[in-house]
């Protein structure tokens, strides 16, 4: 499992960037509670390997170096290099 962890400001940024009408109506309180539930769920995840990547300071869509960093982390996890 790969979990891209994001804080509320990053989530809001993604929502605004996508511009989907149905996402634009979400309140900050809803996003906070949703994020808390994801965090709680991931804390209890025991079904297999888990790689958590903090996404707050990354832009893997527009920055090739950030995408490369994520690929390296996934590769290292798969191949057990680090």
Note whether 4 and 50 are within 8 A (CB).
Answer: no
The pLDDT, as a whole number, for residue 19 is 83
The pLDDT, as a whole number, for residue 81 is 63
Q: Give the global pTM.
A: 0.80
The pLDDT, as a whole number, for residue 66 is 93
Note whether 51 and 81 are within 8 A (CB).
Answer: no
- The residues spanned by each domain of the chain are 2-79
Beta strands in the chain (DSSP E): 2-5, 51-54
Chunked mean pLDDT (size 10), the chain, 82 residues: 94 86 85 96 95 92 92 90 58
């Amino acid at each position: 499992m790969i979990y891209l962890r994001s804080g509320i400001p990053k989530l809001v940024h993604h929502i605004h960037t996508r511009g989907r009408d149905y996402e634009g109506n979400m309140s900050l309180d809803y996003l906070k509670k949703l994020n808390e539930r994801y965090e709680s769920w991931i804390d209890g995840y025991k079904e297999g390997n888990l790689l958590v990547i903090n996404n707050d300071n990354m832009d893997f869509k527009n920055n090739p170096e950030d995408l490369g960093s994520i690929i390296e982390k996934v590769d290292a996890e798969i191949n057990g290099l680090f």
